[in-house]
Structure 1
């Protein structure tokens, strides 16, 4: 069974199966157990899927979070696909889902997810990560907290460093 990394660094088995978009002449076939369906198919079959806690969605990098903004309370898990590591649109999607639309469910990064991206994904609001299969998942916990402090405000801390400066001890230079 595949594994994912949680925001706290724990590595757990991934019970959610990601379903690909069906071809134009095919229908969406749901497997047994929890699954992530493409957002467009979820919206198309909203009446059938609404309230099912074993069905979440995945958004592709070009899909805007506004697409599902009115249904967030019905989605236990939203995955954001990173089709290639250099496509940063998923970071904005995560931040919008958390800050503008108030999504409080699980937000997962899928696709071309690399170790050096994890801390930045965490700061944008992701709380689970499906690493690219060729990456060593045991290195992920260290990568989630590589930097001890961040200058900018983000979903994980809404105060920039200059507002938090009193929290840090000042070195005695005398």
Structure 2
């Protein structure tokens, strides 16, 4: 008779073999492309801008008189505070002009859409403070583009060209001396 084969001795350090199951379909989802639409986002933004300050319209809200001087004073204080805390926003909005155009209306004149975007982030803070300061909660805000308030960066070359307009001999001097106006 044949002797049965002895079973190999199992060590306590060997791990039992595990059966790995494979998925029949990919587990990760496929990328179906972007669902973001620029056109839809722009239309939604315009709707939000219309409703931004049209809060509760109640006839019982206080509506005290305010003047252009009040606007200028509070705008100056606001700009000083922003200059200390957020210089990027300050540089974008410091050229804005706020004018009282009607008894309950303030016109904000801005130079570019980018600057207006920065102002939109800060405007609720300013107008909320202003409404409480003058005790007038019926104030409406109107925006206008005004390219005349845009600040031009004056380089040495631009300053020199302005002087050349006044005195054309400076151009000859520049040709002779080759000024470094960079």
TM-score by length of 1: 0.21
TM-score by length of 2: 0.21
Q: Which has the larger radius of gyration?
A: 2
Q: Which structure has greater helix proportion? A: 2
